[in-house]
A and B are shown apart, each in its own frame.
Chain A
Amino acid sequence: MATIVVDPLTRIEGHNRWVVEATGANLSVTEAKSSGTLFRGFENILKTRDPRDAPQITQRICGV
């Protein structure tokens, strides 16, 4: 049984994590997980604002 973790993923915007588990004599992959490890909650931030502000706030999800 082997576990391979790639965390942090680099050369991306934001935070991501990969976990792969391989079992058996052939080490065949039994689990492959990808996780986004950052939550900011833009939907919550947008509530009750003037709608014309929405693009300005939402564009800050990604700066690339």
Chain B
Amino acid sequence: MRITRRDFMKYCAVAAGALGLTTTDLMKIENAMATRYEDGGTQVVWLNGASCTGCTVSFANSAYLSSVQDLLVPWALAAPHVATAAGLSTAALVDAIDGGVLTDTGANGPLDLVFMETLSSSVGHRAIDAAKSALTAPFVLCVEGSIQTDTNGDFCRIGNGLSASDTTTISFADEVMEFATSTNCVAILAVGTCASFGGIPAAKGSVTGARGLISTGKISGGYKKTDTTGLWDLLKEDYIGGFVESIEVTSGGSGYTSVPNVTISGGSGVTATAVMAGDAVDYITFTGTGNYTAPVVSIDAAPAGGVNATAVVHLGFNLSTGISNEMWTNLLGKTVCISGCPPHPDWIVGTIVYLLSSAPTFEPPLTDKWHRPFDYYGEYQCTNCLWRVNDPTSSETPRDIENNLQTKWTKGGPTTVGHSPSLYFNKYDSLFEGCIGILGCKGRKTKADCSYRRWNSDALDEGGVGWCVQTRAGCHGCTDPRYPDGWGKFFGYK
């Protein structure tokens, strides 16, 4: 079963109407839907920045590997929670919503989609509450859209309030930082070329300083090799120390007769105060955020016969603070780029499923130097292109060519490199037959498996019905870090 955006909206409307729900009831349902389901499923937080939402739409249209509904928390589990929160009988709710027929009666959905702006049924601060609730347990972070860094990230600001009257906002860059640098973030999926390599918002002429996590194809002013800094690399350059996010009391100690002083070394800007419970330290409050590298908390020793209290500082990072070398290594290690504009749904779903299959360690798949999984981005588009006309003077049989394209992937990279074939476009001057490199196809520079998988699959056991090159329009190279400016105009070869 597939769920489209329209279907999802219809569920909400029909549910409300059929049950004669009041606004209050609808708000209760909204709250329940925003609640993280404790009964299982890997948490996923999907953040949107400078994006067009095309990657979300591609993901939502997944048909071949798995339908989105199969991945998300099934209604069979959601319905009882929702009914309880709204004070309704489960039977009435289930009947009204699904005509009495529930298909997902099996185990929990493997994904607990805690927050995804495009599909979230809650809005405003409640949606942000749901997103932040994911920070307390392991979660996979999906980032869609490029991250704009100029003017301190002000080109994209998102609400960050704690209540309906709280007007606080946070820049998208800082929001990504907050989730990515959390110790509970087990993997970061840069979904789409924008989040991976900058994409169109970062194209030549852009003024917002848009970047991908790993690399940035082109920045305003033209293409320079030195301008290809991704967000993680950029943040490592100007690290001034993280800000104090929280101070955790690891041991309250005992025997204190007065409130001990608390000092933090390794930086400045925070004044901390211990709060006692009897003769032990209960918790520590602080003012200011400061900047600290490798902070150490010192609490005055307890009087003779007592036990010293101890505490640790948890640091946060944002656009202004930069990131430490350790954090940079950590972020690079868990970032996987599923590039494409948009990426094929199979690539997104396949990578998510791969991650889930190794839970709770969440091993990322083998990736190339651009952090793209070899499974989907291992070969150039030409390898299975239908317009390819083999060199008639070569003694290679078609089977030879196929065999030569088999690659064996090891941790260091492919041991057998497939053809990066020199095109025959300069041998054929016809626009109507043979290789369409002459028409501007960038397939010879672009790695993706579109030629095998194709697009717009309708059924479980068939590939897609077509792909860009099949139309003789040519590949624009949308999975590549250099998209869209890497090789000049789309419809010419110079």
Contact = CB atoms under 8 A, between A and B. Distances in A.
A binds B: yes
Interface of A: 2-15, 17, 19, 37-41, 44-50, 52-53, 56-57, 60-64
Interface in B192-233: 199-201, 203-208, 210, 220
Q: Pick the 9 closest A-B CB pairs, nearest first.
A: A63-B54, A7-B159, A63-B52, A50-B489, A10-B120, A13-B53, A45-B205, A6-B124, A40-B201
B264 interface: no
Interface of A is mostly: loop
B64 interface: no
14 contacts: A5-B165, A5-B167, A6-B159, A7-B158, A8-B123, A11-B121, A37-B157, A40-B155, A41-B201, A41-B205, A45-B206, A47-B205, A50-B489, A60-B200
B53 A62 contact: yes
B161 interface: yes
A4 B52 CA distance: 27
Given A5-B164, A15-B156, A46-B205, A10 B127 contact: yes
Nearest to A14: B53
Contact of A52 (B159, B208, B489): B489
Contacts of A11: 5, 9, 117-121, 123
A31 to B, nearest CB: 12
Interface of B is mostly: loop
A64 B5 CA distance: 10
Contacts of A2: 165
Contacts of A57: 200, 203, 484
B461 interface: no
Given A11-B118, A63-B51, 6 more contacts: A8-B117, A40-B155, A41-B208, A52-B489, A53-B489, A53-B490
Contacts of B124: 5-9
Interface centre among B201, B210, B476 (most CB of A within 10 A): B201
Contact of A45 (B200, B476, B490): B200
A3 B9 contact: no
Contacts of B476: 56
Interface in B93-136: 117-125, 127-128
B55 interface: yes
B117 A10 contact: yes
B52 A45 contact: no
Given A8-B117, A10-B127, A57-B484, A40 B50 contact: yes
A49 B161 CA distance: 41
B341 interface: yes
